[in-house]
Amino acid sequence: MRVGQGGNGPGPLTPDGSAVELYENTRVHGEDELIDATIDPGSSILELGCGTGRVTRPLLARGHQVVAVDESPDMIARITETETICSTIGDLRLDRQFDLVLMMSFLINVADDAERLRLLQTCAHHVRPGGSVILQQQTPGMLRGPAVMVNEQRRMEISDVEELPGNLQAATLTYTVDGKSWSQRILTQNLSEDDLATQLAQVGLKRTDYLTPDLTWVRAQPV
Ligand SMILES: C[S@@+](CC[C@H](N)C(=O)[O-])C[C@H]1O[C@@H](n2cnc3c(N)ncnc32)[C@H](O)[C@@H]1O
């Protein structure tokens, strides 16, 4: 398990506490549509932290070519439709570049500056000149609790939220799907617009725009 993170519940768990069965049973929620609208038809995509392929499959169905990367062999074993690579994001160095490097799921909010730099270096290394990096980030207020969010697929409860020095937040997320429950303790760091711009610049990337009004989806390009 990663420092400050952990999880419990049925089936295998990843080092960040994500439950394989939970993601296997969660459908895409419009992410593919959002991403597809920003790229050319038939784009090459490197998806970092792909999980069980929840978003990979819809992107493939839309005609893109996706290379799916995750550090969890249990997660990527669920993806049979395209090339997968089992690697930590920070260590990945392919001899290929992509139209789009996609890193969703708030991985950019890892509570460790050195690790975040490694993640961004991997994004920068794999995006072609003129290509895009899309990040999904946490924004202030997202982790307010206690709170319960229910949609047609699952119930998610946010509890035990702690605001910690250095813009860090810890929280417990409890998911219930089809009578099964998983709990994940997360530790995240909110990034101000300036923080993110500075860290992107360190790896030769520049934020170009936000894809959503809530500022959670950020696009950057090589300078
Ligand atoms: C919350 S899950 C989300 C999966 C997928 N992006 C989705 O939205 O369905 C996060 C995934 O990122 C992977 N992950 C987290 N940190 C990683 C790292 N540093 N290197 C590789 N994979 C990582 C985990 O193993 C897990 O499968």
How many whole angstroms from 16 Cα to the centroid of ligand 1? 8
Question: Which residues does ligand 1 sit against, CB inside 6 Å?
Answer: 14, 16, 18, 23, 49-51, 54-55, 70-72, 75, 88-90, 104-105, 107
Residue 106 phi/psi, 5-degree rounding, is 60, 25
- CATH fold of 20-140+191-222 reads Rossmann fold (3.40.50)
Count the neighbouring beta carbons within 10 Å of the beta carbon of residue 137. 20
- Burial label, 67 (beta-carbon count in 10 A; 0-12, 13-18, 19+): buried
- Burial label, 143 (beta-carbon count in 10 A; 0-12, 13-18, 19+): buried
Kindly report the pTM of this predicted structure.
0.97
Could you list the pLDDT tens digit for every one of the 223 residues in the chain?
A: 666 678 999 999 999 999 999 999 999 999 999 999 999 999 999 999 999 999 999 999 999 999 999 999 999 999 999 999 999 999 999 999 999 999 999 999 999 999 999 999 999 999 999 999 999 999 988 888 899 999 888 999 999 999 999 999 999 999 999 999 999 999 999 999 999 999 999 999 999 999 999 999 999 999 9
How many whole angstroms from 71 Cα to the centroid of ligand 1? 7
| The residue type at 86 | C
∠204-209-215 over CA atoms, to 5°?
110
How many whole angstroms from 72 Cα to the centroid of ligand 1? 8
The closest-lying atom of ligand 1 relative to the alpha carbon of residue 89 is: 20
How many whole angstroms from 139 Cα to the centroid of ligand 1? 18
